[in-house]
Structure 1
């Protein structure tokens, strides 16, 4: 499957379509993980490293901050 080169975002949120074909994808943490992040045109894109062809999530800086703070606080823990 070919890698997705564009992240489509919700138009009503004011986020542009980003060309992710040249994005510098980095592991989301120092440990082994399945997520990768890239900083593109002032936005933060996140994808599953095992499925790079799937759509990426795109966050505005404020949304990214809220997501990271929520994750650190355990808001998304399954247990």
Structure 2
């Protein structure tokens, strides 16, 4: 996982952002993901022009699993 400007490892700026199905909360705590890239770009929906994180597909799955199990703390 690393922070980058809004581009992906395949060199294409992410488009088609959508709210992650793993995003929840009614406090505006939403993650957006962009499909169709070799990596999984993720950004904060409140700052769409800000930086994005990219995960390998396996890394994204591990991250989501850790969140679901409460293994990450603030």
Same fold, judged at TM 0.5 (above)? yes
TM-score by length of structure 1 reads: 0.65
Q: Which residue pairs with 2:17 in the alignment?
A: 25
TM-score by length of structure 2 reads: 0.69
Q: Which residue of the other structure, out of 38, 41, 53, is the alignment partner of 2:37?
A: 41
- Give the 5 Å matches for 1:54-73: 54-73=50-69
- Computing the radius of gyration from Cα coordinates, the structure with the larger value is 1
Q: Judge conservation of contact 1:47–1:55 (CA < 8 Å) in 2.
A: yes
List runs of 5+ in structure 1 lacking aligned partners. 8-15
List runs of 5+ in structure 2 lacking aligned partners. none
Which of structures 1 and 2 has the larger relative contact order (alpha carbons within 8 angstroms, sep 6+)?
2
Aligned length, in residue pairs: 66
The CA RMSD over aligned residues, in Å, is 2.2
Deviation at 1:34, TM superposition (A): 2.1
